[in-house]
């Protein structure tokens, strides 16, 4: 009888252990479905450190596309010469965060998550401009001047570093499935970048000066633009604050 009880106890303990192994795990691999739907593809790896804390790292990338929130961008960047309809952006970001869970289970329940984000935004900005071309005199006679309208294509990268926090709730579903619901949060930091237009061969200096004047007259508060001409190129150096809202999102993950 005693041996039977020992065998039954061992079987029960083994069943409980297997169930915990099936449900538990110190790692979660997940993706934000709401961001994926907006073509901002992402993957996150979260690792538990103890019962109430975890660390995670995520990578997100958005392929080149038309400028989102175009009308909002126009409120910050004011210049009628900028072709916002053909403004293209792409980005990628790495986010490192720690989570502090207030629930009774590991990596489950309500949490607060401070984080740091490091991003690169690739930009293509067409700028329309005009200049007057005055030909050299021929046999002492100066031909009439010609007004030329064309476009300068600026390409470059803006890098950002920001820090913030958000909160949400994470729950275990079924056996290995995890549902992570981000409620709201935000981040703030700084940015700097460089955009460059390389003029084709034969473009006169007056054309480059026209492009520089247009950029110099651009209102881009709170960002600062410093424009220089170098050889046959017009270069914009940018710096300023960087902020964002981490809105509601639904993330689905696999726990192991």
Domain count across the chain:
1
Please give the pLDDT value at position 233: 97
Residue 7 domain flag: no
239 domain-assigned: yes
* In-domain check, residue 13: no
Cβ–Cβ contacts within 10 Å for residue 56, how many? 20
Whether 191 is covered by a domain: the verdict is yes
- DSSP SS3 for 81: coil
Question: How crowded is the C-beta side of 55, counted as CA atoms within 13 Å?
Answer: 3
* Angle 250-186-176 from CA coordinates, rounded to 5°: 25
pLDDT, residue 47, reads 97
Confidence at residue 14, expressed as pLDDT on a 0 to 100 scale: 41
Query: Which residue range(s) make up the domain with 130?
Result: 26-255
Rounded Cα distance, 96 and 115, in Å:
6
The CATH number that applies at residue 155 is 2.40.160
For residue 53, tell me if it sits in a domain. Answer: yes
- In a domain? residue 87: yes
Task: Point out the residues of the chain with pLDDT beneath 70.
Answer: 1-24
Q: What is the pLDDT of residue 22?
A: 44
Residue 181 domain-assigned (yes or no): yes
Give the model's pLDDT for residue 23: 56
76 part of a folded domain: yes
Q: Can you tell me the distance from the alpha carbon of 146 to that of 135, in angstroms, rounded to the nearest whole number?
A: 8
**Around 143, how many Cα atoms within 13 Å sit in the side-chain half-sphere?**
8
Residue with tokens 């005199």: 137
What are the tens digits of pLDDT across the range 221-245?
Answer: 899 999 999 999 999 999 999 999 9
């Amino acid at each position: 009888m005693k041996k039977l009880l020992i065998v039954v106890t061992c079987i029960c303990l083994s069943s409980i252990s297997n169930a915990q192994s099936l449900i538990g795990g110190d790692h979660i691999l997940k993706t934000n479905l709401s961001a994926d739907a907006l073509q901002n593809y992402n993957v996150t790896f979260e690792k538990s450190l103890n019962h109430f804390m975890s660390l995670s790292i995520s990578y997100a990338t958005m392929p080149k596309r038309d400028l989102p929130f175009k009308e909002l961008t126009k409120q910050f960047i004011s210049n009628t010469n900028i072709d916002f309809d053909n403004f293209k952006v792409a980005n990628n970001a790495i986010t490192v965060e720690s989570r502090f869970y207030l629930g009774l289970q590991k990596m489950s329940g309500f949490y607060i998550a401070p984080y740091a984000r490091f991003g690169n935004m690739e930009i293509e900005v067409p700028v329309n401009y005009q200049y007057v071309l005055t030909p050299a005199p021929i046999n002492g006679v100066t031909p009439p001047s010609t007004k030329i309208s064309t476009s300068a294509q600026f390409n470059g990268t803006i890098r950002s570093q920001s820090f913030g926090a958000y909160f949400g709730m994470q729950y275990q579903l079924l056996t290995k499935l995890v549902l992570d619901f981000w409620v709201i949060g935000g981040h703030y930091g700084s940015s700097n970048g460089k955009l460059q237009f390389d003029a084709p061969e034969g473009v006169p200096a007056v054309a480059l000066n026209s492009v520089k004047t247009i950029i110099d007259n651009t209102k881009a508060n709170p960002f600062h633009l410093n424009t220089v001409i170098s050889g046959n190129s017009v270069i914009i150096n940018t710096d300023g604050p960087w902020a964002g809202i981490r809105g509601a999102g639904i993330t689905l993950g696999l726990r192991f």
